[in-house]
């Protein structure tokens, strides 16, 4: 009977189970693959954002440092003015000299950011002022007098909060108490810096229209901001706990970086806060500089990369879907290939397909526009021969040899290619492997990041070079000078430093305009470069003040170099429109490295004193300071 039982094929539930188990395994595997791809994509997006924020932090901090250097230069100039006024006041000579016609002009030239200066007696009455109508005004109860008087034995420089000063424009006041030789209070000397002038100082270093720079005092009072919104009427006091200023104060650091919402214009921003250090000058309060940019501008490259990643995610999702619903054809990735071909028309997304032997199988219009090769010229050609740089050939060959089905996890990297015209372009790639009817295919989704890299390089250059004259700015000059000073100490070599200041430069701006002043500065920089050696270092320290570092140069050679610059500048003329010409001179202070190895700041101070000695001695001359001991 058993032998007569007909053979029944396995169908129904048993057969269904045998078919569905592989599909279930494939489904679970596909799901795990999707999760893995999602993790890789999230990690890539997170890393990209971190990188962009790190670059933004470096750029914003660099600009804040530049602003700090300019503000410190203004503070030091103001302190020099106050020290000279205090010496005259302590000696009882200020009131008499203040009546001379040109007495106050010298201080304006030294501190062009100030609007006026004044001095009081011990009772708070103004006895000398650059504006005659202020004489006799009583300030005995005004904080401009009472605060320095209360701390008359202090060596600090007093900085007031921004306010309407003596019924004039909004400004801050820098002041010092004056003590006589008998240790008695003679009065107070002060300079007034309008907030509008400080705003122009901040405007000088901004490199894009979306950036903002803000100067705030210790109490949160707004001193200056560029740009200031049209018809802006307040607040003049930063108090929001979410403001960058309050975040910086809570950090307790000299430099902080954060995302915040501006209390002034309500926009989302990313910026750096920096506490201005005026060392060695001691002040009664610290100032804070905030440099920021719009969040959407800073993260624009990240948003662009996010679009590329989403495009890749769509490709991965469709590939997994086709793998699940088509188990018998799971190695056929036509679904993903169809989507890739749909992306070929994207004018901004480069789509490249390369076989394991290096031949090109996909080449979209964006790739054609970038490389200059027609699709018909590229297909079937070896990618290494077509566009790869010689230094990348071995790396790409090794990568293609290692490709396999397990290489489907996306990989992100950047490389450079050479176009048909010989131009080098930087490309950010997102690559993965798929399998079609012809075998394994490397899919690369690329974005041209050449302009982004150029902008980054330009930003680094602008942070180090003075745009007008093309020489190192103050911060970069000091960095290079400190390195040269360390080498001179280590090897026992001679070293000299020059401080140069163009005489009557403010008069040039006032008489001929700032364009003429810019031409004078550029002409002076060219004169210095022609007079100096290749190894000498020229830098612009601020305004019309320059510095020159002379490695392996003693005092005699330094004087020769300084005289060459002075005479060369005196011999040239700057041509203006309508046949007018300008001739200027320069005063130079020089100092040579002494035996006690002073730091760069000490050399600058000695050269600065020699420079002012040259100014007082009639200008257009060189004065050598005593060596640092």
| Long-range contacts of residues 380-389, Cβ cutoff 8 Å, at least 24 apart | 382/357, 382/358, 383/352, 383/354, 383/358, 383/359, 384/358, 386/360, 387/417, 387/418, 387/419, 388/417, 388/418, 389/415, 389/416, 389/417, 389/418, 389/424
Distance (Å, rounded) from C-alpha 383 to C-alpha 361?
10
- CATH code for residues 74-181: 3.30.450
The correct answer on CATH 3.60.20.10 for the domain covering 322-453 is no
Q: How much is the CA Rg of the chain, to the nearest whole Å?
A: 35
Q: Residue 598 carries which DSSP code? A: -
3-class SS string, 18-83: HHHHHHHHHHHHHHHHHHHHHHHHHHHHHHHHHHHHHHHHHHHHHHHHHHHHHHHHHHHHHHHHHH
C-alpha distances in Å from residue 190, one per residue of 71, 83, 143, 145, 180: 17, 10, 12, 9, 17
3-class SS string, 262-319: CCCCCCEEEEEEEECCCCCCCECCCEEEEEEEEHHHHCHHHHHHHHHHHHHHHHHHHH
Chain centre distance of CA 110: 28
CA dihedral 268, 274, 276, 280 (to 10 degrees): 180
pLDDT at 96 over 80: yes
pTM recorded for the entire structure: 0.47
What pLDDT, on a 0 to 100 scale, did the predictor assign at position 423? 84
For residue 420, the number of C-alpha atoms closer than 13 Å in the C-beta half-sphere is 11
The candidate with the shortest Cα–Cα distance to 584, out of 518, 537, 530, 540, is 518
Residue 6 pLDDT level (bands cut at 50, 70, 90): very low
What's the mean per-residue pLDDT of the chain?
Answer: 82
pLDDT at 8 over 50: no
What pLDDT, on a 0 to 100 scale, did the predictor assign at position 407? 55
Residue 426 pLDDT level (bands cut at 50, 70, 90): confident
- How confident is the model over 188-208, as pLDDT tens digits? 999 999 988 888 888 877 778
The candidate with the shortest Cα–Cα distance to 192, out of 128, 283, 282, 130, is 130
Residue 17 pLDDT level (bands cut at 50, 70, 90): very low
Distance (Å, rounded) from C-alpha 248 to C-alpha 273?
6
- In sequence order, the β-bridge partners of residue 465 are 472
pLDDT at 296 over 50: yes
Beta pairing, strands 586-592 & 622-624: parallel
- In total, the chain counts a number of residues equal to 629
Determine the average pLDDT of the residues in 378-397. Answer: 82
What pLDDT, on a 0 to 100 scale, did the predictor assign at position 560? 94
- In sequence order, the β-bridge partners of residue 587 are 501
212 backbone φψ class: left, alpha, beta (φ>0; ψ -120 to 50): beta
- How confident is the model over 553-562, as pLDDT tens digits? 999 999 999 9
What are the strands of the beta sheet with 545-551, ordered from one edge? 537-542, 545-551, 495-502, 586-592, 622-624
3-state secondary structure of 322: helix
- How confident is the model over 207-263, as pLDDT tens digits? 788 889 999 998 889 988 888 777 766 667 888 888 888 989 999 899 999 998 888
What pLDDT, on a 0 to 100 scale, did the predictor assign at position 194? 92
- How confident is the model over 33-60, as pLDDT tens digits? 777 777 877 787 788 788 888 888 888 8
Distance (Å, rounded) from C-alpha 380 to C-alpha 399?
19
Q: Which two tokens stand for residue 100?
A: 């001379």
pLDDT at 447 over 60: yes
Distance (Å, rounded) from C-alpha 503 to C-alpha 622?
12
Residue 410 pLDDT level (bands cut at 50, 70, 90): low
pLDDT at 586 over 90: yes
Distance (Å, rounded) from C-alpha 260 to C-alpha 360?
47
How many other C-beta atoms are found inside a 10 Å radius of the C-beta of residue 343? Answer: 19
What pLDDT, on a 0 to 100 scale, did the predictor assign at position 435? 76
The candidate with the shortest Cα–Cα distance to 66, out of 431, 464, 569, 629, is 464
Residue 11 pLDDT level (bands cut at 50, 70, 90): very low
Determine the average pLDDT of the residues in 557-581. Answer: 89
Give Cβ neighbours of residue 398 (< 8 Å, ≥ 6 apart). Answer: none
3-state secondary structure of 240: coil
Distance (Å, rounded) from C-alpha 112 to C-alpha 157?
19
Q: How is the chain split into domains, by residue range?
A: 74-181, 322-453, 464-624
Class of domain 464-624: alpha beta
CATH topology agreement for domains 322-453 and 464-624: no
What pLDDT, on a 0 to 100 scale, did the predictor assign at position 452? 76
Distance (Å, rounded) from C-alpha 48 to C-alpha 598?
44
C-alpha distances in Å from residue 37, one per residue of 327, 344, 407: 20, 22, 12
pLDDT at 314 over 80: no
C-alpha distances in Å from residue 338, one per residue of 41, 147, 375, 376: 22, 78, 18, 20
pLDDT: is 367 or 174 the higher one? Answer: 174
Q: Which two tokens stand for residue 290?
A: 């905030």
What pLDDT, on a 0 to 100 scale, did the predictor assign at position 19? 42
What pLDDT, on a 0 to 100 scale, did the predictor assign at position 546? 95
Distance (Å, rounded) from C-alpha 419 to C-alpha 369?
10
Residue 499's φ and ψ, nearest 5 degrees, are -115, 125
Residue 333's φ and ψ, nearest 5 degrees, are -105, 45
Beta pairing, strands 212-217 & 116-120: unpaired
Q: Quote the percentage of the chain above a pLDDT of 90.
A: 29
Residue 83 pLDDT level (bands cut at 50, 70, 90): very high
What pLDDT, on a 0 to 100 scale, did the predictor assign at position 597? 56
What pLDDT, on a 0 to 100 scale, did the predictor assign at position 322? 65
Evaluate whether 503 touches 584 at the Cβ level (below 8 Å). Answer: yes
- Sign of the torsion formed by the C-alpha atoms of 459, 463, 466 and 468: positive
What pLDDT, on a 0 to 100 scale, did the predictor assign at position 3? 40
What pLDDT, on a 0 to 100 scale, did the predictor assign at position 5? 36
């Amino acid at each position: 009977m058993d032998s007569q039982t007909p053979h029944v094929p396995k169908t129904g539930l048993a057969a269904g189970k045998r078919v569905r188990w592989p599909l279930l395994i494939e489904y679970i595997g596909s799901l795990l693959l999707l999760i893995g791809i999602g993790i890789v994509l999230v990690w890539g997006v997170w890393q990209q954002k971190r990188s962009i924020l790190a670059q933004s932090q470096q750029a914003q901090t660099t600009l804040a440092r530049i602003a700090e250097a300019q503000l410190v230069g203004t503070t030091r100039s103001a302190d020099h003015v106050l020290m000279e006024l205090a010496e005259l006041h302590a000696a009882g000579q200020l009131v008499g000299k203040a009546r001379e016609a040109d007495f106050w002009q010298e201080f304006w030239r030294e501190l062009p950011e100030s609007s006026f200066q004044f001095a009081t007696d011990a009772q708070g009455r103004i006895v000398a002022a650059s504006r005659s109508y202020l004489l006799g005004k009583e300030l005995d109860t005004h904080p401009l007098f009472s605060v320095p008087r209360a701390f008359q034995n202090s060596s600090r420089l007093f900085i007031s909060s921004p306010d309407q000063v003596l019924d004039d424009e909004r400004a801050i006041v820098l002041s010092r108490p004056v003590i006589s030789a008998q240790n008695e209070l003679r009065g107070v000397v002060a300079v007034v810096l309008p907030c509008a002038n400080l705003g122009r100082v901040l405007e000088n270093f901004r490199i894009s229209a979306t950036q903002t720079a803000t100067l705030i005092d210790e109490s949160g009072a707004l001193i200056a901001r560029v740009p200031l919104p049209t018809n802006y009427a307040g607040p003049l006091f930063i108090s929001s706990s979410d403001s960058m200023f309050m975040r910086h104060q809570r950090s307790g650091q000299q430099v902080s970086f954060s995302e915040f919402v501006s209390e002034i214009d309500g926009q989302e921003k990313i910026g750096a806060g920096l506490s201005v250090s005026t060392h060695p000058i001691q002040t009664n309060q610290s100032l804070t500089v905030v440099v920021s940019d719009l969040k959407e501008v800073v993260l624009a490259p990240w948003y662009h990369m996010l679009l590329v990643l989403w495009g890749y995610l769509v490709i991965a999702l469709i590939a997994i879907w086709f793998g699940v619903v088509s188990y018998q054809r799971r190695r056929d990735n036509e679904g993903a290939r169809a989507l890739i071909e749909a992306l070929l028309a994207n004018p901004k997304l480069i789509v490249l397909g390369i076989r394991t032997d290096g031949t090109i199988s996909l080449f979209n219009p964006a790739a054609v526009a970038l490389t200059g090769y027609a699709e018909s010229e590229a297909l079937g050609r070896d990618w290494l021969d077509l566009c790869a740089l010689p230094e990348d050939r071995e790396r790409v060959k090794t990568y293609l040899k290692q490709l396999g089905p397990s290489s489907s996890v996306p990989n992100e990297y950047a490389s450079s290619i050479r176009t048909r015209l010989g131009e080098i372009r930087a490309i950010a790639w997102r690559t993965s492997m798929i399998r079609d009817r012809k075998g394994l295919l490397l899919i690369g989704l690329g974005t041209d990041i050449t302009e982004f890299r150029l902008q980054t390089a330009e930003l680094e250059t602008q942070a180090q070079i003075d745009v007008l004259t093309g020489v190192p700015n103050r911060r970069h000059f000091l960095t290079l000078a400190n390195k040269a000073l360390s080498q001179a100490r280590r090897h026992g070599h001679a070293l000299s430093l020059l401080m140069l200041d163009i005489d009557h430069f403010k008069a040039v701006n006032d008489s001929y305009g700032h364009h003429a002043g810019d031409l004078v500065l550029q002409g002076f920089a060219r004169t210095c470069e022609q007079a100096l050696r290749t190894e000498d270092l020229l830098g612009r320290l601020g305004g019309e003040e320059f510095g020159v570092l002379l490695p392996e140069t003693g005092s005699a050679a330094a004087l020769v170099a300084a005289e060459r610059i002075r005479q060369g500048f005196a011999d040239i003329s700057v041509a203006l429109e309508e046949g007018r010409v300008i001739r200027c001179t320069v005063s130079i202070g020089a100092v040579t490295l002494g035996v006690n190895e002073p730091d760069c700041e000490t050399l600058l101070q000695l050269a600065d004193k020699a420079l002012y000695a040259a100014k007082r001695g009639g200008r257009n001359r060189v004065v050598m300071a005593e060596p640092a001991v």
